[in-house]
């Protein structure tokens, strides 16, 4: 769709919910028709898929988790454009990688570190499998995602684990609650008016690494688990996944959101120490937005949509990762790849999911549309070299890099819908 609202209308229509579009943002609209937007996005995808290593299912120049995110875009491109252009690549390679690495849990030489495993790596690929299932209806991809969910669930802190102070797959004592926060819930087996039971709020946190000694519980791993659980709840109707998503959503809500409604990074389960308050990354906020938007749709519980809107509004207006012109500056790395290059793409994907699941909130949709067009126009006008893009969205254009292309793909594909 193409929004033709005048700028004053954009702002005044959203004032009541404080979702106004900042006047300082760069280029809030574009007039490219749908067919052109689809062509632009698919052209960028074609440049990326030329880097595919058919023996590994990964892409030259990218890390393992980043390669999984390329397949997320391919699946979403087909879903949004109503095509099957990328179907074979998505299905064949997601199945190939699952066969190479059971549970998508890579162990061996990675792009950055040797012999290191991460739960979030597995879930990036599982998320791609769910997008592939949504786009193409391949039951095997749904089964792969279910397998990963079961695998990672072994590293979630359950209420019983938190209360006991230990987790069966870890060899250290864990804190029951951190930062002085305890959530009060009705006692199990009792009527709600007969007393409240303190529930340890570390429940729902997901350990970053599946090793016995790693103590880190972080927002991206937990946010991925929320999103994976919520999608599985939606596709299967099984309350087990809904309850898992709620528990983990409460962990981030209780422990890892700062006063500005941005999602923080890490809590140490052994001693409650936290990552620096300056560790603010787009993908933590973006993945939580995505998970909350699906969870709100599954449960019909307005607390999740309200929380999602507050965090989204903060995320698109903060100056932590963008200038006053609204263009994201995080992950601008023209000469070498790093994890941060892929973060902002995850943020844009989360915003798009919120857009699709908020059809009755015009102010929110206008805000997301405007923010998306700010990034889209910057890419096409400042950072494009034909169908390839710099990871610095403010430019200048440069020769093709895999990581620059990765960062741009979600913007181009999401804009098929949000524009």
Under DSSP, the state recorded for 396 is: -
DSSP 279-315: ---HHHHHHHHHHHHHHHHHH--HHHHHHHHHHHHHH
CA distance 220 to 109: 22
| CATH architecture assigned to 155-320 | Alpha/alpha barrel (1.50)
Tokens (6 digits) for 115: 């012999």
Find residue 216's DSSP bridge partners: 268
Q: Could you give the CA distance from residue 63 to residue 70 in angstroms, rounded to a whole number?
A: 11
Per DSSP (E only), the strands in 182-302 are 182-186, 196-200, 216-218, 266-268
Q: Mean pLDDT in runs of 10 for the chain (419 residues)?
A: 37 56 95 97 98 98 97 98 98 98 76 66 98 98 98 97 96 89 36 41 96 97 98 98 98 96 97 96 98 98 97 98 97 95 97 97 97 98 98 98 98 96
| Per-residue model confidence (pLDDT) at position 324 | 97
Contact by Cβ (8 Å): 313, 19 = yes
Q: Which of 43, 120, 155 is nearest to 339 (CA)?
A: 120
Cβ contact 220:284 at 8 Å: yes
What is d(CA 340, CA 356) in angstroms, rounded to the nearest whole number?
Answer: 26
Nearest to 269 by CA among 227, 226, 224, 209: 209
pLDDT at 13: 35
Residue spans in the chain of domains classed CATH 1.50.10.20 = 155-320
Inter-residue long-range contacts of 168-173, CB under 8 Å, 24+ positions, other chains counted: 169/207, 169/210, 169/212, 170/207, 170/212, 170/213, 170/214, 170/215, 170/269, 171/212, 171/213, 172/213, 172/215, 172/270, 173/270
What does the pLDDT read at residue 283? 98
- Predicted TM-score of the model (pTM): 0.91
Measured between alpha carbons, how far is 419 from 417 in angstroms, rounded to an integer?
A: 6
């Amino acid at each position: 769709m193409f929004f033709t609202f005048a700028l004053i209308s954009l702002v005044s229509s959203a004032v009541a919910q404080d979702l106004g579009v900042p006047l300082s943002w760069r280029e809030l609209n574009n007039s490219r028709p749908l067919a052109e937007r689809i062509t632009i996005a698919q052209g960028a995808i074609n440049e990326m898929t030329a880097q595919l290593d058919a023996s590994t299912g990964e892409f030259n120049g990218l890390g393992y988790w980043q390669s999984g995110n390329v397949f997320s875009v391919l699946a979403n491109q087909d879903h949004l454009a109503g095509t099957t252009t990328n179907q074979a690549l998505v299905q064949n390679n997601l199945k190939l990688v699952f066969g190479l690495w059971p549970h998508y849990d890579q162990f061996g030489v990675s792009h950055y570190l040797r012999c290191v495993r991460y739960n979030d790596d597995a879930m990036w690929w599982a998320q791609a499998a769910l997008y592939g299932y949504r786009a193409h209806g391949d039951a095997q991809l749904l089964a792969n995602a279910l397998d990963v969910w079961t695998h990672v669930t072994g590293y979630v802190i359950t209420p019983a684990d938190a209360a006991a102070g230990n987790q069966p797959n870890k060899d250290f004592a864990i804190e029951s609650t951190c930062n002085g926060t305890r959530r009060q819930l009705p006692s199990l087996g009792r009527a709600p008016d007969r007393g409240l039971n303190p529930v340890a709020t570390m429940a729902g946190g997901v350990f970053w690494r599946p090793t016995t000694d790693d103590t880190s519980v972080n927002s991206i791993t937990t946010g991925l688990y929320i999103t994976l659980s919520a999608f599985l709840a939606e596709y299967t109707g099984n309350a087990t996944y809904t309850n898992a998503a709620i528990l983990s959503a409460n962990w981030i809500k209780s422990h890892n959101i700062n006063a500005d409604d941005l999602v923080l990074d890490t809590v140490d389960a052994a001693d409650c120490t936290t990552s620096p308050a300056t560790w603010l990354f787009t993908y933590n906020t973006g993945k939580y937005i995505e998970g909350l938007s699906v969870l709100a749709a599954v449960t019909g519980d307005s607390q999740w949509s309200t929380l999602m809107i507050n965090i989204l509004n903060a995320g698109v207006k903060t100056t932590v990762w963008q200038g006053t012109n609204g263009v994201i500056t995080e992950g601008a790395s023209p000469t070498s790849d790093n994890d941060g290059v892929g973060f902002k793409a995850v943020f844009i994907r989360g915003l798009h999911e919120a857009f699709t699941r908020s059809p009755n909130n015009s102010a929110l949709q206008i805000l997301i549309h405007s923010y998306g067009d700010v990034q889209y126009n910057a890419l096409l006008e400042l950072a494009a070299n034909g169908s390839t893009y710099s990871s610095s969205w403010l430019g200048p254009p440069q020769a093709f890099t895999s990581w620059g292309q990765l960062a741009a793909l979600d913007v181009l594909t999401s804009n098929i819908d949000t524009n």
